[in-house]
A and B are shown apart, each in its own frame.
Chain A
Amino acid sequence: MSPRMVTPVEIGSVVEPVLRIVWSDGHHSVYGWRSLRLHCPCAACKGEWTVRRHLDPASVPENVRALRIERVGAYALRPVWTDGHSTGIYTFPNLRHEICECDECTARRAAGG
């Protein structure tokens, strides 16, 4: 069995200026609210595998925020956004490894890693 999925041990509050998550592997992640919204993985924003789509950033309000964040089973988070959107299920591996905006992860992605 592959090692268990990395999971959040601490999820910051929606009233904070950014979303902070501390992971079971010790990593500290940080996400801007709007950029998290733009990364929404749902079929309406990202498309399905037959039809790729791109969410038009102009359609997302500058000051978009999460009203609350729900846990989905043992593997994901679902934010409910101030623009009414709520169908995006952000899996833990996606949040931890693909869209984290901490300095370390941003630098690694900039370097093509």
Chain B
Amino acid sequence: MTANPQISREQVLAALRDVQDPELHKSIVELDMVKDIQIRDGVVSVEALLTIGGCPLRDTIQSSIEEQIRQLPGVRGVQVQLGVMTQEQRQTLITKLRGGEVSPMHRSSFLTADSPTRIIVVASGKGGVGKSTVTVNLAVALRRLGHRVGIIDADVYGFSIPRMLGLTGQPTMVDQMIIPLEKDGIRVMSIGFLLPNEGEAVIWRGPMLHKTLTTFIGEVHWGDDLEYLLIDLPPGTGDVSITIAQTLPQAPMVIVTTPQLAAVNVAQRAARMAEKVNMEVLGIIENMSWFQASPADPPVYIFGRGGGLRLAELLGVPLLGEIPLDPAIREGSDTGEPIVTSHPDSPAGRVFRQVAARLVERLPMKVG
């Protein structure tokens, strides 16, 4: 390539298009964060504006800008100056993130029937069946398939997603908009991020739950490139489940159950609710199906057999997978490394990945 002594502003701008704000997942050019570009004798000076003063990802943005511009032919030096947006500029940005012009009718993209994001609600009849474990592992599996994934931890009282993914910290707020936390490319919002410490209890009645959930759906910047959003419901058919059913125009559900036949009845109630609120049940996931001490040993059916299949038959939906018990699943949940991350080829890891693939088959990405 011949050196081009003449670098144009357009070239620089085109290069900066590939620099994303690490939290907002959009190009800094698109976000109007690039304020000024000066080019003198092959030295490019860029002035960019950050959304907030103490931006923790300041250095990341600075080095990505430098890296991109250095790749341009003829560049001899790069100077990056970072400023901070004014209140007014920030407001314009928020408006943009919310999907365009301010309008009283505007709603978050999930709230419209033609949203490109596929929602999967993970429900169960009773607690303790491993719903959150299934949610995080499906999220990791969907991510491994190359999809952009988010999780809403709607189990407000019994939130556990943050620990299972090893996520702590508080979400950044850009004015009234919440930026979800992220782990290995999975965007997560949980009430756990908003409490002073993990041991804090949430002691709320329905209206507060409703407000929290609608905030997680409507006021969190999930990004319009999000492909799958998993919602981890609390067990049963209470306030939170009703809010989800009333807020989202489309929310297909998977039901997690254990092999025990006694659990089938309870799980069936979750399906009953889905029917009443016109949510499609995509299938059943049976968790804790069996235990095998080693591949040579026969499987032990600790919690009985056939519950998942029975429920699937009763509802006329597919049994998406049977997940064996594996101490590594529990360990992973405690250390923040889901089994699909740590042991993707273990028997359990493989089932999670198969279930994810089947869900993608059922809910393919919308084109266009």
Contact = CB atoms under 8 A, between A and B. Distances in A.
A74 interface: yes
A73 B249 CA distance: 4
Contact of A2 (B248, B251, B275): B275
Interface centre among B249, B276, B278, B281 (most CB of A within 10 A): B278
B250 interface: yes
Contacts of B246: 72-73, 76, 89
Interface centre among B246, B248, B317 (most CB of A within 10 A): B246
Interface in B270-329: 275-281, 315-317
A74 B275 contact: no
Contact of B247 (A4, A7, A73): A73
Given A73-B245, A73-B246, A74-B251, A4 B281 contact: no
Interface in A59-105: 71-76, 89, 91-92
A4 B278 contact: yes
Contacts of A2: 275, 316
A74 B316 contact: no
B317 A74 contact: no
B280 A75 contact: no
B225 to A, nearest CB: 24
Interface residues of B, number: 17
A72 B249 CA distance: 7
Contacts of A5: 275, 278
Contacts, number: 39
Q: Chain A binding site: helix, strand, loop or mixed by DSSP?
A: loop
A1 B315 contact: yes
Contacts of A73: 245-249, 251, 277-279
B273 to A, nearest CB: 11
Interface centre among A2, A4, A73, A89 (most CB of B within 10 A): A73
A76 B277 CA distance: 8
A71 B276 CA distance: 15
A75 B276 CA distance: 8
Contact of A74 (B250, B281, B315): B250
Given A73-B245, A73-B248, A1 B281 contact: yes
A95 to B, nearest CB: 13
Contacts of B316: 1-2
A112 B285 CA distance: 44
Contacts of B276: 75, 91
Contacts of A71: 249
Interface string A30-52: 00000000000000000000000
Interface of A: 1-2, 4-5, 7, 71-76, 89, 91-92
Interface of B: 245-251, 275-281, 315-317
18 contacts: A1-B281, A1-B315, A2-B275, A2-B316, A5-B275, A7-B278, A72-B246, A73-B249, A73-B251, A74-B248, A74-B250, A74-B251, A74-B278, A75-B277, A76-B246, A89-B246, A91-B276, A92-B278
